[in-house]
Structure 1
Amino acid sequence: MRHDTLTQDPIERLARRRAGAKLGWYMHAGIYLLVNLLLITLSAASGRHWAVFPAVGWGIGLAVHGAMVFVLAGGSGLHERMVQAERDRLTAAQGNRS
């Protein structure tokens, strides 16, 4: 089977997009851990505990990114219900025009 045939398949495109989004989150989380371990080391070496501030701020961003990927992205129950509601609205609107 040819690669361009696979990418034309809507299920294949969706699967690749979802896998890419999850991989992006895992990379984000890994970089978060590495950078914050470095900041914690520098913070401890200086005798102050300032590293908590960037860790918390960035942690909030990481949590939002995770929610977008794992909860609100395509495939989640909420997303599927919203897509179905839009389909129903569009179908009803198209039916009213006919």
Structure 2
Amino acid sequence: MIRFFSILLAVVSWASFAGAADMIVFPAKNGNVIFNHKRHTEMLTDCRNCHNKAPGKIANFGKEYAHKTCKGCHEIRGTGPTRCGLCHRK
């Protein structure tokens, strides 16, 4: 679990440093999550939909955030994956 969050932190830090990456891979024990950042920025033009104040690192990002915020947004909008195997790929 500590390794997961260390890798996750490294990936998120690198992504914010490198600018808006097109695709971001979040390692997870039940399968990596490949996040299409470019597609989300095209659909959601206001970065504050996901980011707290401005583009960059998302505060408190992790499993709980993704399951509540990302999945919740997909459910509300009626689009995007909402089941485990649709995000987590082994």
TM-score of the two chains, using structure 1 as the length reference = 0.26
* Greater relative CO (CA pairs within 8 A, separation 6+): 2
Which structure has more strand as a fraction of its residues?
Answer: 2
* Greater C-alpha radius of gyration: 1
Task: Decide which structure has greater helix share.
Answer: 1
**TM-score normalised over the length of structure 2:** 0.28
